[in-house]
Chain A
Amino acid sequence: MSVTPDASRQPATAARDSGVEQASRFEAVIGLEVHVELNTATKMFCGCAIDFGGAPNVRTCPVCLGQPGSLPMINAKAVESAIRLG
């Protein structure tokens, strides 16, 4: 895609700045979002096992299906691990 510069709307300095000079006006801030799979035996909010490879719909319950009336119960081991990870 080509962009035709509109000379009349360019700031006076822009034409003189090189690419390096332009970049130097920005500060690089880099954040890392790290996802870790915790080695718990059960899911985050219910007691269902988290093993892979079983028959369909056997490692489910009213809680992880979000059935009406069900309530999540937080996995204590996951909380403990998260605290240890800081």
Chain B
Amino acid sequence: MHPLVAADAVGLQRLLKAREVSATEITQAHLDRIADTDPHVSAFIRTLDQAALDHARDIDRRLSAGQEVGALAGLPLALKDILCTKGVETTCASRVLQHYRPPYDATVVRKLRQADAIVVGKANMDEFAMGSSCENSAFFPTRNPWDLERVPGGSSGGSVAAVAANDAPLGIGTDTGGSVRQPAALCGVIGVKPTYGLVSRFGLIAFASSLDQVGPIARAVPDAALLLEAIAGHDPRDATSIPTDVPDLHTTLEAGVEGLRVGVVSEFMGAGMSDGVRSVVTAAIDRLGALGAEVVDVSLPHAGYGVSAYYLIAPSECSSNLSRYDGVRYGLRVDGETTEQMMASTRDAGFGPEVKRRIMIGTYALSAGYYDAYYAQAQRVRTLIIRDYEAAYAGCDVLASPTSPTTAFKLGERAADPLSMYLSDVYTIPSNLAGAPALSLPVGLDDDGLPVGLQLMAPVLGEPVLFRAARALERELAIDSTPRGNGSLAQVAA
């Protein structure tokens, strides 16, 4: 592997600042890596080689002229294909948007460009971010770099697999019920779901607006912190954006966990978890204790209802958000004899089975006579879960649990059983319902040599303590994030 693609973002930044390498060299090394790995991994729907190199040359020109460059200058980044990029196809991995070119940049994309990050490609995902395996992409599934016969998780499977495959040191995903954290756990990288409202949703193609949040993906905690600082901040174009300063994650990043109280969520350590995940996660929590954190048990009594509430709230919001894809203004149009037939044919051809399933569940849950029994009841459960978290944080600084009940599963293994797929997100969904930040940190491998993720959670706007705890454990464990072993990318792309 080329040393520039093995390096983390902070390391690349140091080399660039010292003028030991150019942004063009960094970018070319990553484009070459993508050419080697992506035939096996299929992380990208489209790569942006020319635009990436043009941007890199511009950065080099400015550096030579002694001009300012952005905070992410020269750092390659995989962008989930759900964020609008002006003039560049943005598909949401759906046939209905297959040839859609947005007339504008998402706020996150604008911030990334201003920070001089190099967007090397638009990454694959489950269609409209609905799924936990990346198999719901209308185009092709993405594969897990640790075992190419296994899924990378989802829905941000493409961005995560790209970072795990060393195609880019940084990735951007979105997390509605675990869509950054679960794939990060399954691919052995770091994935963060920030506080709801910390990162602008303007230009993020909506799935469930009260739950969606953009999050960073990286192979090192300081890299994830760097990326979050670059994309966070108030946006007057998003009414749910929090009018707060960009969080300072770096000042306390190396402060350690001594004196912190870490609550282990009892409800997330019970049945349904694989033995391998349990032993690796338990060992990681013990290490937090050894580093000086006080580890206590806490309870989130209503968290067990999270999946049920989520699968009413998220489909309800999706059925409303996706009604705009009617063949009239943009995207796919399948002609019909009448307007109604045109709309019905367009939606039938444009949406895949999981998207249709959720539109139907949501439409049913919101219909007259059922609203109180389903949607309103789910919102009450949401309030109870928020109160559970508030009670837990009265005595703890951060909470800990596994990210996913299992390690990566085989392609096709859960595709026929939606319920088993939905349960992949049983530990991640409650944070979305509560609007609170959480991240997944790789903490070891199970007996099959597959990565296990530890989920750390913090109160709303508690990102500084979240990153501080993750960094302390990362430093202690010194995990090698390079995919290796039987069936892994290492056997086909050196």
Instruction: State A79–B159 Cα separation when bound (angstroms).
Output: 41
CB-based contact A68/B239 at 8 Å = no
Closest residue to B104 on the A side, CB-wise? A62
Number of A interface residues in the complex (CB < 8 A): 13
How many interface residues does B have (CB within 8 Å)? Answer: 24
Is there an interface contact between A71 and B237, defined as CB atoms closer than 8 Å?
Answer: yes
Q: With A69-B202, A71-B202 as given contacts, are A62 and B102 in contact (CB-CB < 8 Å)?
A: yes
Contact A71 B201, beta carbon cutoff 8 Å: yes
B97 at the interface (CB under 8 A from A): yes
A68 touches B330 (CB 8 A): yes
CA distance A8 to B239 in the complex (A): 65
- The answer to the question of B36 belonging to the interface, with a C-beta cut-off of 8 Å to chain A, is no
Question: Which of these, A62, A68, A70, A74, contacts B97 with CB under 8 Å?
Answer: A68
- Please state if B329 and A66 are interface contacts (CB–CB under 8 Å): yes
Residues of B within 8 A of A61 (CB): 104
B372: chain A residues at CB < 8 Å are: none
Q: In the complex, how many angstroms separate the beta carbon of A63 from the nearest chain B beta carbon?
A: 8
| Distance (whole angstroms) from the CB of B234 to the closest CB of chain A | 13
State whether the Cβ of B332 lies closer than 8 Å to any Cβ in chain A.
Answer: no
Q: Tell me the complex Cα distance, A68–B99, Å.
A: 13
A73 at the interface (CB under 8 A from B): yes
How far does the alpha carbon of A72 sit from the alpha carbon of B238 in the complex, in Å? 8
Complex Cα–Cα for A69 and B202 (A): 6
How far, in angstroms, from A69 to B237 measured CA to CA in the complex?
Answer: 11
> Given the interface contacts A65-B329, A66-B324, A66-B329, does A71 sit within 8 Å of B100 by beta carbon?
no
Q: Is B106 an interface residue (CB 8 A)?
A: yes
The CA-CA distance from A65 to B100 in the complex, in Å, is 14
- A27-81 CB contacts (< 8 Å) to partner B: 61-63, 65-74
Which of B83, B84, B237, B330 lies in contact with A73, CB distance below 8 A? B237
Residues of A within 8 A of B102 (CB): 62, 67-69
Interface-side segment among B203-211, B219-227, B426-434, B452-460: B203-211
Q: How far is the CA of A67 from the CA of B205 in the complex (A)?
A: 9
In the bound complex, residues from chain B placing their C-beta under 8 Å from that of A68 are 84, 90, 92, 97, 100, 102, 205-206, 324, 330-331
* Cross-chain contact A69 with B236 (CB below 8 angstroms): no
Tally A-B pairs: CB < 8 A. 48
Does residue B369 face the partner (Cβ distance < 8 Å to A)? no
Asked if B103 CB lies within 8 Å of chain A CBs, one says: yes
A67 touches B204 (CB 8 A): no
Q: Give the CA-CA distance A72 to B239 in the complex, in Å.
A: 8
Whether B239 and A73, one on each chain, are in contact in the complex, defined by CB atoms closer than 8 angstroms, is yes
Closest CB of chain A to B196's CB: distance in Å?
Answer: 14
Query: Considering the chains assembled together, what is the distance between the CA atoms of A68 and B97 in angstroms?
Result: 9
Contacts of B204 in A (CB 8 A): 69
Whether the Cβ atoms of B203 and A70 lie closer than 8 Å is yes
A74 and B238 CA atoms in complex are apart in Å by 10
A74 to B237 alpha-carbon distance, docked (Å): 10
Contact A67 B104 (CB under 8 A): yes
**A65, B84: Cα distance in complex, Å:** 15
Give the interface centre of A65, A68, A70 by most chain B CB atoms within 10 Å: A68
Which residues from A are CB-within-8-Å of B92?
68
Question: Chain B contacts of A72 at CB under 8 A?
Answer: 239
Q: Enumerate B189-246 residues with CB–CB distance to A below 8 Å.
A: 201-206, 236-239
Q: Please, what's the 1-or-0 string for B432-457, where 1 marks a CB less than 8 Å from any CB in chain A?
A: 00000000000000000000000000
Residue of B nearest to A61 (CB): B104
A70 touches B202 (CB 8 A): yes
Task: Check if B205 sits within 8 Å of A69, measured CB to CB.
Answer: yes
Output the nearest chain A residue to B100 by Cβ-Cβ distance.
A68
Residues from chain B with Cβ under 8 Å of A69 in the complex: 83-84, 90, 102, 106, 202-206
- Complex Cα spacing A72 to B201, Å: 11
**Is the beta-carbon distance between B330 and A67 smaller than 8 angstroms?**
yes
CA distance A66 to B100 in the complex (A): 14
Closest CB in chain B relative to A66 CB, distance in Å: 6
A72 (CB) vs chain B CBs: closest residue: B239
Closest to B106 in A: A69
Q: In the bound complex, what is the Cα–Cα distance between A63 and B201 (angstroms)?
A: 13
Which residues of B come within 8 Å of A, CB atoms? 83-84, 90, 92, 97, 100, 102-104, 106, 201-206, 236-239, 324, 329-331
Q: Interface on A for B, CB 8 Å cutoff? A: 61-63, 65-74
Question: Other than the known A68-B324, A71-B239, what 11 A-B pairs have Cβ atoms closer than 8 Å?
Answer: A61-B104, A63-B237, A66-B324, A66-B329, A68-B90, A68-B92, A68-B100, A69-B84, A69-B106, A70-B202, A71-B238
- Lowest 10 CB-CB distances: which A-B pairs, in order? A69-B203, A69-B205, A69-B84, A68-B205, A62-B104, A71-B202, A71-B238, A66-B324, A69-B204, A73-B239
